[in-house]
Amino acid sequence: MPNKQHAGFQKQEESDNKDREKIIEVWLIEKFRDKLRKASIISSRKDKPFILYRNIIEESQDALEEEVATVSEKYVVVQVFCHGGFVPTDFQKQQIFTFLPTQFQQHSSTLG
């Protein structure tokens, strides 16, 4: 009998942990959406894209491959491209997300 009570306690604890994780996940998503809305407002007021992040993927002597994410009014654009040195600028990947109040719709293309 004590084993059944212990098993029930574990199930309740697991359920509580899942509820907490869900609450945190919903809160993080809402904070992220709020920050994107603010970046979108800044972008539209300044009439130029707002850079969310830049990440160097690979770097050689004079050239690099980089991922850049920007917000431009109602779009979030993630691009991977090479540039610098004797390497002509080459866009390898673009992902475009339509920014809507409730969701993102993804459109992507691989350039080559």
**Region of 28 on the Ramachandran plot (φ > 0 left; ψ -120 to 50 alpha; else beta):** alpha
Using an 8 Å Cβ cutoff, are 56 and 66 in contact? yes
In angstroms, rounded to a whole number, what is the distance separating the alpha carbons of residues 109 and 112?
Answer: 10
**pLDDT for the residue numbered 98:** 87
Over the stretch 32-90, which tens digit does the pLDDT of each residue have? 888 888 998 899 899 999 999 999 999 988 889 999 999 988 899 999 999 888 878 98
**pLDDT for the residue numbered 80:** 96
Domains of the chain, by residue range, sit at: 2-110
